[in-house]
Structure 1
Amino acid sequence: MEATVMHFRQGRHHVNSKQMIIKVADTAEEAEKFIGKTVTWTSPSGKEISGKISALHGRNGNVRAIFEDKGLPGQALGQKIQVK
C-alpha cells in the first residue's frame, strides 16, 4: 500500500529528523490498523530507507513513523512511501 509523506515531526524549537508524519488513511480508526508496520521510501537513485509506524498523529488518519539510522531527506516530502 502507498502512503504520502507529509512533514517532519517537530516541536516549537526542534525538528525530529528521524520521525516523519505520514498520511495513510482518512480516519484515525483506519490508520490505527497500520501501527507496527514497516515503511520504505526509495530515493531516485534506488537507495531504500526504512522505518516503523509507531503511533497515531491526530484524528485525521496521520501516523508517526520512526526511521532507524537516519531520517528522510527533505526531497521526500510530498512523495509516496510503501507500507508493508
Structure 2
Amino acid sequence: MNVRRGRRTVRERHYLLVPKGIEEKRIPSLIGRTVVWESPKGKRIKGKITSLHGNKGVLRAIFERGLPGEALGTKVRIL
C-alpha cells in the first residue's frame, strides 16, 4: 500500500493497493468493495476500491480520512 501522488501533489486519502494471491482476471471484480486498515491498537479506517491504476493489477482506494504514516507498506483487508 502506498500514497497516490503526482509530481507536486499528494492525495492524502488516495492509496494504491497491490493485491496478493488473487488471479489477474479476478482483480477488476474487486472494484466497489470495501477495504479496512486496522492499526496495532485496533483503530479501523474504512475505504472503498474505486478503480484500477495502470495495467499491472494495482487498485486505487479512497479512504474516509487520511491514514497515518505507519500504514504505508502494511496490509489491508478487502471485505
- 1:51-66 pair list within 5 angstroms: 51-66=47-62
Write the letter of the residue equivalent to 2:36: T
Q: Structure 1 segments of 4 or more deviating over 4 A?
A: none
Query: Structure 1: 5+ residue runs without aligned partners?
Result: none
Match of 1:19 among 8, 14, 20: 14
Question: Which one has the bigger strand percentage?
Answer: 1
TM-score by length of 1: 0.84
Query: Structure 2: 5+ residue runs without aligned partners?
Result: none
Displacement after TM superposition at 1:26 (Å): 5.9
User: How many aligned positions are there?
Assistant: 77
TM-score by length of 2: 0.89
Change (3 A) 1:12 1:26: farther
Describe the SS at the equivalent of 2:40: coil
In 1, distance between residues paired with 2:16 and 2:68? 13
Answering whether residue 29 of structure 2 is matched by residue 33 of structure 1, we say yes
Provide the identity percentage: 44
What is the aligned-residue RMSD (CA, Å)? 1.2
Q: Give the structure 1 partner of residue 71 of structure 2.
A: 76
